[in-house]
Amino acid sequence: MASDKIYDAPMESVTTLVHRDSPFINFRAFDFGEGSYGYRSIDAKRFQLLSDAPDDRDVLAALIAHPQFRDTYDGAGVQDCARHGQWWLDRMTPDAYETVGADTAIDVVHSWANQHGGTPEPLASRLRQEIYAPIRSATSRYLLGPLPEDALHDYGPIHIDFHEIVLIDRPTATLTLLVAADD
């Protein structure tokens, strides 16, 4: 069973990633004028990849096994729980992520960020610097694809939209987990 691989992953797979920081962009902090920020935010968890990091699928498995992955993105932060985003953690596997190009990843975030009208220039500038630039420079990008309905945890439907992109940048030895969500 795929979920056994996640929980039975050797400890060294978790140490493939070292959590560095988690910049947070809260749309509420920007003046939308007559528009709406729609209770949206982007959480970026950044990790250092160890120099001997394995192939991308193994790195994705290490991300899923990492304690920082246990975040429901509902304001409670990282917890010792069996949930990630709106899904049960044991339903998450590297195979749930599909390889995408930079343009597709940027389009996902840009379309989501602008769904209620344009973003104010200070927010657009921050998105260009902190989100779109790392997406462009990453050596590989993975978009979380659809999961089966039984993967949704007991209060998972709190999110209206939930977009997750993993960026792996081998030259800088970094992994960034981007979660764009609203409720």
Rounded distance between C-alpha atoms, residue 3 and residue 169, angstroms: 26
Judged by DSSP in three states, 52 sits in: coil
**pTM value surpassing 0.85:** yes
Q: Which domain holds residue 149?
A: 2-182
Instruction: State the sign of the Cα–Cα–Cα–Cα dihedral 148, 153, 154, 157.
Output: negative
Average pLDDT of the chain, as a whole number: 85
Domain count along the chain: 1
Residue labelled with tokens 């190009």: 101
The pLDDT score that the predictor gives to residue 153 is 75
CATH code where residue 36 lies = 3.40.1000.50
Residue labelled with tokens 């993105």: 73
The one-letter code for the residue type at 58 is D
**Rounded CA Rg of the chain:** 16
pLDDT in tens, 36-54: 776 889 999 999 998 676 8
- Strands (E) in 33-115, as ranges, are 40-49, 83-84, 87-88, 97-100
pLDDT in tens, 110-167: 999 998 888 999 999 999 999 999 999 999 999 999 988 887 776 656 667 889 999 9
